[in-house]
Amino acid sequence: MILSPRTVKLTTRTGIDIYRSLPHRSLRTIGAWCFIDHFGPTSQEDAMSVAAHPHVGLQTVSWLFDGKVEHRDSLGSIQIIHPGQLNIMTAGRGIAHSELSAPDAKIMHGVQLWTVIPDTFRNTAPIFDHYPDLPVIRKKGLKVRLIVGEFMNEESEARIFSPLVGAEINLAPGSTYQLPLRPDFEYGALLVVGDIVIDAEEVPLTNLYYSAPGKSMLQISTVSGAKVLLLGGVPFLEEIVMWWNFIGRTHDEIVAMRDDWNLESDDFPYFVDKIGGRIPAPELPNLRLQPRGNIRPDIN
């Protein structure tokens, strides 16, 4: 199954286009991966300029292919991220952060990913982790940088809360490779550069190829060369309510999270950055938000 992204704007400040693959009307999660935003490549100045905003109940996973971004948060963290490095922010019961691309970043290209934190751990204290060195796997025609989890006998040290994998896969022109899979995982493969055919299906640029549990191998080939983001995990079976930057389990929890942010609760301390201001939470819809599970009407 191939999913086409919808195009949204990152912010009104920059107007940069974002290709959003998850959540999708046909697919809400891949494992605990619940949000995939792909941006760039763009040479727009200040491409990433997102003022302070909150998160609750999730992890943000920031990954760059090109560029440089400064992260600041309400824990006092200040961290520049470069391509090949990983920022993971565990929101837990609540954190605020901002993101600003560096002035000398000529090209910006990357993904912003979220994972749902399982109910057992979702009220944990917020944590920020930076990983400058990650495992790299090299084989003929193939280079893999492992972001989270285990893959091809390597393991990332990145903090995660459920069985997951995330990897940047680079294929040389004219190459074909069989990627090993865990049969209990479902997978998504996002094409970010070049061209690929997966199991005899051509995947358009910025599209997401979905593979249901049960497979032990994924055949991938390219003509001109390709960069692919591979995401996988054990299907996430908990019902969740996902609204704006919050993930809860009930409508009332989301209301409380929104109020805490807009009323400037102590759960979200102020911090100084180069952007200034705080993004207010939008108005809630005129209906009760309903929990949704890992249901895929177009697949099941």
Q: Average pLDDT of each block of 10 consecutive residues along the chain (300 residues)?
A: 87 73 92 96 80 98 96 98 98 97 89 98 97 96 97 97 98 96 98 96 96 96 98 96 97 98 94 95 95 61
Question: Does the residue 265 lie in any domain?
Answer: no
115 Cα distance to chain centroid: 7
CB 172 within 8 A of CB 153: no
Task: Report the relative pairing of strands 58-66 and 108-116 from DSSP bridges.
Answer: antiparallel
Going by C-alpha positions, the residue among 195, 115, 201 that lies closest to residue 160 is: 115
Residue 15 pLDDT: 63
Tell me how many domains the chain contains: 1
Query: Residue 176's domain spans which residues?
Result: 2-233
Asked if the structure places residue 255 within a domain, the reply is no
94: domain CATH number?
A: 2.60.120.10
Q: What is the pLDDT of residue 42?
A: 87
Query: The whole model's pTM is what?
Result: 0.94
Q: Does residue 34 lie in a domain region?
A: yes
Does a structural domain hold residue 262? no
**Does 296 reside within a domain?**
no
Given this model, what pLDDT does residue 9 score?
74
Q: Domain for residue 252, yes or no?
A: no
pLDDT at 293: 74
- Contact between 134 and 145 under an 8 Å Cβ cutoff? The reply is yes
Closest to 226 (Cα-Cα) out of 277, 185, 173, 162: 173
Assess if residue 273 is contained within a domain.
no
